[in-house]
Structure 1
């Protein structure tokens, strides 16, 4: 069996920049960021394709993460009934898969996600980027912070992609992220003017959220 790769696919600085650009654009339109995992993943995958020449793609499904030392810090998306794991349009998460890695661009706002769900908890702003081979065998096997289990739902992914592509506003916002992003070490502008349909401009300031470590 192949040993898991402990090196990240992209540097932390690049991950943070991708996160900040997407977060900033969503924040500028008052989007519900805790519910935006699909937008984060679709846009991040496009950035990885364009700027890093990576075969990246968004995946929706059930996801389970351990984000604290005890089981009370298990973050779950989807449904778990005994050993039966499922996901649907009302209970899912989305991440990026690329060259055997998983990247979750929502990880830096896990705390806000928990707060929005009525479960306030202090969670560090950390990068989630791991070799898929490091996944535990089941949600019940989560033991250490950073452990994860993913259950892709290809039918749901296809459905969500079709919905995304049918909404020009989402595609346009994703394109704004693509046009703003620059791969380090190139300089990235700290603000951007986004033109509206009527010609009016919205000034977007780059998020200053700082990623403090890795899962």
Structure 2
């Protein structure tokens, strides 16, 4: 299991190891239908990615941007009670080895200030807007290619143990309330990041309304264009 650190400016692959984690009980009743349709999920992901590309961010280590901006868009434009969550997450994206966003220990995985993942929870569902760049994340770690598919599943489908991530598309998530508060507060303490949340949320339009190019100003007042990303999902996990 590979554990990629989550740092938009410096992503380094970790060595391959196998870990287990204490199982947990899930008692959730998700809505019967996904809270966000595929086209809307794709449009949200494309808009966030477009902003990140304009800012020259490392798109393979920007889960906080996908999670926090995604939360803002869902709450304003879809009236969902969505919340960004930080914690341990692991996915089997290739059918072979799983990828864990966590810190490897001797016989389990943990999270710390640099190794974690951020996703969105709404109506009992797990939404990962960074799934638009899962192929790039997998490639950065030297793994076999994975398809570009939307990752939106009921939280009740989360594996109870990392040992259960044997089939492609399986996932594991375990929120950490303290780290969620710390990471989101730290993110929002940076005015530049708050500006990006507002810019992307105001820019966003539901399909099939057009989203025109917008201009972002750098620290010197120079304008740089931001476009809706052209990357598209080929289906769902």
Query: If the length of structure 1 is used for normalisation, what is the TM-score?
Result: 0.90
List per-residue Cα deviations over 1:27-72 (Å, max 9, x = no partner): 00101111110111000001000001001111111111111223x2
* Contact 1:181–1:188 (8 Å) recurs in 2: no
Q: Distance in 2 between matches of 1:6 and 1:84?
A: 33
Partner of 2:168: 145
Partner of 1:42: 68
Match of residue 57, structure 2, among 27, 31, 35: 31
Q: 1:2 and 1:54, CA in 2 relative to 1: closer, same or farther beyond 3 A?
A: closer
Alignment RMSD (CA, Å): 1.9
* Contact 1:8–1:129 (8 Å) recurs in 2: yes
Partner of 2:213: 191
Partner of 1:214: 236
Partner of 2:134: 110
* Contact 1:108–1:124 (8 Å) recurs in 2: no
Classify the secondary structure of the residue corresponding to 1:58: strand
Q: 1:148 and 1:82, CA in 2 relative to 1: closer, same or farther beyond 3 A?
A: farther
1:134 Cα deviation from its structure 2 partner: 1.0
Q: 1:150 and 1:132, CA in 2 relative to 1: closer, same or farther beyond 3 A?
A: same
**Unaligned stretches of 5+ residues in structure 1:** none
1:201 Cα deviation from its structure 2 partner: 2.3
1:97 Cα deviation from its structure 2 partner: 0.6
Q: Distance in 2 between matches of 1:86 and 1:137?
A: 15
* Contact 1:4–1:134 (8 Å) recurs in 2: no
1:171 Cα deviation from its structure 2 partner: 0.9
Match of residue 145, structure 2, among 122, 125, 138: 122
Structure with more of its chain in strand, by fraction: 1
Query: If the length of structure 2 is used for normalisation, what is the TM-score?
Result: 0.82
Is 1:57 the counterpart of 2:83? The answer is yes
* Contact 1:62–1:77 (8 Å) recurs in 2: yes
Structure with more of its chain in helix, by fraction: 1
Mean CA deviation greater in 4-13 or 136-145: 4-13
Partner of 1:176: 199
